[in-house]
């Protein structure tokens, strides 16, 4: 006798769906290759770094001595290392904050105005992102040379008093290095923001103009809130670049003059390969990783709330 309530057919449908869905472990089987690669190339080296940071080891000998958190205490107690982390925070302004301000202005102007050759301009402004940082560093080192083009231009326009050895001056070396980061990051930030502004419906701007809003009002009321996702992405990428910068400092100043441009990544190299303090070097790297994660977590949290 057929089931009058439909319970039998419903149960059959559930069983058929269950057979189609497969066992519960099947999704994990698909993810397993990616998880193995992620664990082998990221999590395992990170765990080994944490282990090395608890030992005193020169990187060459077969013996090491367990020192616990002593290497981490040295990171916070050593004035040179504290100064390096302070310089990294200063570079965030040049790598992230300043390019964001410039990028917002450029992106707003270029998307509002009908500029011919806009695609070519995007390629040109993005070009620093595709050039190796070592090449950029060598080029700017020549520009900053005492007899280089920058000082030559200052002397040519009657501002010779401002000429100086930019990479040898204790006061101006860190801003000079940071300005290179601004030049590199501005193109990336501008292109990201232009992409975000381009997807804003034009009807919103037309309605704002009908209500009497000017360009400044449109920017703060429509453009800025609409690109908060792109701003979060741009800040995340540029802050990471600022905190982990190494090749730029190594090629241009090697942390000098004195310790005026040392950064954490350079101190990792110096302690590991010049001083033979692998434990201290890995401790610096772990602290830097935690700082990068914490700052970007705050930036993404603020972006989500906005």
- What are the residues facing 65 on neighbouring strands? 56
Q: Which residue has the higher pLDDT, 120 or 282?
A: 282
Residue 34 pLDDT exceeds 90: yes
Nearest-angstrom CA–CA distance, 68 and 264:
21
Closest CA to 302 of 229, 199, 222: 229
Q: For the segment 195-253, what is each residue's pLDDT rounded down to a tens digit?
A: 899 888 888 888 888 888 888 888 888 888 899 999 999 999 999 999 999 999 999 99
> What HEC string does the chain produce?
CCCCCCHHHHHHHHHHHHHHHCCCCHHHHHHHHHHHHHHHHHHHHHHHHHHHCCEECCCCCCCCEECCCHHHHHHHHCHHHHHHHHHHHHHHHHHHHHHHHHHHHHHHHHHHCCCCCHHHHHHHHHHHHHCCHHHHHHHHHHHCCCCCHHHHHHHHCCCHHHCCCCCCCCCCHHHHHHHHHHHHHHHHHHHHHHHHHHCCCHHHHHHHHHCCCCHHHHHHHHHHHHCHHHHHHHHHHHHHHHHCCCHHHHHHCCCCCCCCCCCHHHHHHHHHHHCCCHHHHHHHHHHHHHHHHHHHHHHHHHHHHC
Predicted local distance difference test score (pLDDT) of residue 215: 80
CATH superfamily of 70-305: MetI-like (1.10.3720.10)
Within a 10 A sphere around the Cβ of 298, how many other Cβ atoms?
A: 11
12 — pLDDT class (breaks 50, 70, 90):
low
Residue 18 pLDDT exceeds 60: no
Closest CA to 284 of 85, 60, 92, 58: 85
Predicted local distance difference test score (pLDDT) of residue 123: 82
**Domain limits of the chain?**
70-305
The end-to-end CA distance of the chain, in Å, is 62
The owner of tokens 């509002």 is: 112
CA distances from 274 to 59, 79, 84, 118, 269 (A): 11, 18, 17, 48, 7
Predicted local distance difference test score (pLDDT) of residue 17: 52
pTM: 0.86
Do residues 87 and 263 lie in contact, with contact meaning Cβ atoms separated by under 8 Å?
A: yes
Closest CA to 286 of 263, 268, 273, 272: 268
Predicted local distance difference test score (pLDDT) of residue 1: 44
Do residues 230 and 191 lie in contact, with contact meaning Cβ atoms separated by under 8 Å?
A: no
Predicted local distance difference test score (pLDDT) of residue 210: 86
Q: What angle do CA 261, 249, 173 make, to 5 degrees?
A: 40
Q: Which residue has the higher pLDDT, 121 or 157?
A: 157
Q: Which residue has the higher pLDDT, 72 or 5?
A: 72
- Of 1-10, 108-117, 130-139, 282-291, give the lowest mean pLDDT range: 1-10
Q: In terms of residues, how long is the chain? A: 306
């Amino acid at each position: 006798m057929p089931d009058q309530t439909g319970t039998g057919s419903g149960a059959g449908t559930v069983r058929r769906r269950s057979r189609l869905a497969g066992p519960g472990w099947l999704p994990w089987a698909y993810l397993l290759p990616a998880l193995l690669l992620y664990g082998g190339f990221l999590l395992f080296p990170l765990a080994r770094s944490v282990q090395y940071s608890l030992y005193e080891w020169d990187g060459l000998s077969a013996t090491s001595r367990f020192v616990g958190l002593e290497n981490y205490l040295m990171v916070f107690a050593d004035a040179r290392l504290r100064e390096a982390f302070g310089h990294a925070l200063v570079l965030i302004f040049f790598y992230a904050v300043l390019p964001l301000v410039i990028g917002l202005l450029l992106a707003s102007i270029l998307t509002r105005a009908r500029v011919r050759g806009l695609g070519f301009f995007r390629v040109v402004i993005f070009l620093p992102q595709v050039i190796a940082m070592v090449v950029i560093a060598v080029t700017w080192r020549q520009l900053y040379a005492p007899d280089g083009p920058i000082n030559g231009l200052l002397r040519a326009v009657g501002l010779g008093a401002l000429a100086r050895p930019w990479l040898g001056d204790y006061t101006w070396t860190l801003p000079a290095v940071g300005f290179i980061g601004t030049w590199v990051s501005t193109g990336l930030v501008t292109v990201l923001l232009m992409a975000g502004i381009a997807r804003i419906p034009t009807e919103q701007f037309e309605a704002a103009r009908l209500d009497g809003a000017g360009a400044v009002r449109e920017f703060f009321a429509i453009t800025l809130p609409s690109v908060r996702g792109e701003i979060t992405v741009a800040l995340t990428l540029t802050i990471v670049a600022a905190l982990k910068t190494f090749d730029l400092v190594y090629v241009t100043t090697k942390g000098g003059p004195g310790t005026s441009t040392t950064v954490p990544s350079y101190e990792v190299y110096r302690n590991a390969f010049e001083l033979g303090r692998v434990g201290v070097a890995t401790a610096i790297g772990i602290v830097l990783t935690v700082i990068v994660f914490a700052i970007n977590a705050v930036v993404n949290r603020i972006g989500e709330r906005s």
